[in-house]
Amino acid sequence: MAFRRRNKSYPFFSQEFLIQNHADIVFSLVIFILIGLMFEATAKTAILFIQPQYNVTTLSLEGEVTLYHYGWKDSATILFYFFIAIILHAVVQEYLLDKVNRRLHLSKSKNTKFNESGQLCVFHLVSSVWSFYIVVTEGYLLHPSSLWENYPHVHLRFQVKFFYLTQLAYWLHALPELYFQKVRKEEMPRQLQYICLYLLHICAAYLLNMTRVGLVLLFLQYVSELGFHIARLFYFTDENHQKMFDLWAVSFVFTRMATLTLMFLAVGFGLARVENQGLDLEMGNFNTLLIRMTVLLLVCFTQSWLLWKFIRFQLRRWREFRHEQAIRKKTAPKQPLRTLKRDSFGHYENGVVKAENGTSPRTKKLKSP
């Protein structure tokens, strides 16, 4: 299965060969793992990569319910879906974004940003819909107090744990994609910043058993980022599309305020009043004052940094707009105004009387006596 057109062949084990064929190599590894399910000797090992582990069956009002908790075996599952993310990335790039790029004829810098926004737009759309479905089905939307009640939330439903594993797999796959996509050195720090921030916050929510709060925050963040990347895609197709950025600006500020409010409500006040206080690694309880303050400071610092970048971005847009307006005024042709002397029935032009409609008034003929 070939994901990219081979315009030129490269020697094996070379850097160009790896970049050009990385999706095919990863696809072969995924097939190899799936083949392992067909044999009894390797089925138990192969299932570690595909299915989430550490399941526990408990009794509830609905009957027997299978719940999950985290452990070191999750790294094998994350690795498998890390490979899946690389394959899906190549599919979106080859069969969607590359075809659009050929029609737009963008510059190299704009082409890189267009590919970045296209990939993230697909991911944020899927993740925001998926996270919203989980928030609704788990009852977090109708019962906000469930975000901190009965902490620690050690046992997770399948859809919640699988969501977190795939999120970690996607953001981990984004690191080698910087190399595979040949991202410029100028763009590397910016992309590494938000990739590492996503990994840090998702890992903290998953390992500290704050998955409920983290799920709601991820939904808010993904919806806001989806609006930004849609606006940027429209801007690259036509630079006159600027109003989408104004809509995104409103959603961005709302997301920052909602994130801070929810964190202070859930972590600052909710977990502080929960009965289970103290550090207990075996029970998965991390509800101590030091950990709560560290989490709040981390989120507040991240939101403040995002707002600072947002303000700089808006100021730069405002300066560019004012600069363009000044250039347009200077280059606009100036038409000289002609002063005309008017009388009761017309005006004078070149010593000849003209009527209001621009024609000379007809002289009256004298009647012959």
Helix axes 188-207, 211-237, angle to 10 degrees: 160
The CB density around residue 263, as the number of other CB atoms within 10 Å, is 19
| pLDDT given for residue 323 in this prediction | 79
Contacts 24+ apart (CB under 8 A), 215-219: 215/131, 215/134, 215/135, 215/140, 215/160, 215/163, 216/135, 216/140, 216/147, 216/262, 217/259, 217/262, 217/263, 218/127, 218/131, 218/167, 219/128, 219/131, 219/132, 219/135
Distances (CA, A) of 305 to 176, 197, 205, 209: 25, 11, 20, 25
Nearest alpha-carbon partner for 102 in 87, 115, 90: 115
HSE of 99 in the Cβ direction (CA atoms, 13 Å)? 6
The full set of domain ranges for the chain reads 16-50, 53-324
Token digits for 105?
Answer: 């004829």
pLDDT at 204: 95
Output the six-digit token pair for 62: 């609905």
Question: What is the maximum span of the chain, computed from C-alpha positions, in angstroms?
Answer: 133
How open is the CA angle 55-58-63, to the nearest 5 degrees?
120
Q: In this structure, is the dihedral angle defined by the CA atoms of residues 85, 91, 97 and 101, taken in order, positive or negative? A: positive
Indicate the pTM of the whole model: 0.84
- Are the C-beta atoms of 233 and 113 separated by less than 8 Å? no
Q: Concatenate the DSSP letters of all residues of 144-195 into one string.
A: GGGGTTT-----B-HHHHHHHHHHHHHHHHHHHHHHHTT--TTTHHHHHHHH
- Of 83, 295, 91, the residue nearest 172 (C-alpha): 83
| Tens-binned pLDDT, residue by residue, of the chain (369 aa) | 555 555 566 666 677 778 888 889 999 999 999 999 999 889 999 999 999 999 988 877 777 888 999 999 999 999 999 999 999 999 999 999 988 888 888 888 888 889 999 999 999 999 999 999 999 999 898 888 999 988 989 999 999 999 999 999 999 999 999 999 888 888 899 999 999 999 999 999 999 999 999 999 999 999 999 999 999 998 888 777 778 888 899 999 999 999 999 999 999 999 988 888 888 888 889 999 999 999 999 999 999 999 999 998 888 878 887 877 888 777 766 555 555 444 444 444 444 444 444 454 454 444 444
* 82 half-sphere exposure, CB direction, 13 A CA radius: 18
What pLDDT is recorded for position 12? 67
CA distances from 135 to 132, 141, 143, 159, 270 (A): 5, 6, 10, 11, 18
Tokens of 238: 């036509």
pLDDT at res. 17? 79
pLDDT of residue 352: 47
pLDDT for 186-203, tens place per residue? 889 999 999 999 999 999
Contacts (Cβ under 8 Å, ≥6 apart) of 231: 241, 244, 245, 247, 248
pLDDT digits (tens, 9 = 90+) for 243-268: 888 889 999 999 999 999 999 999 99
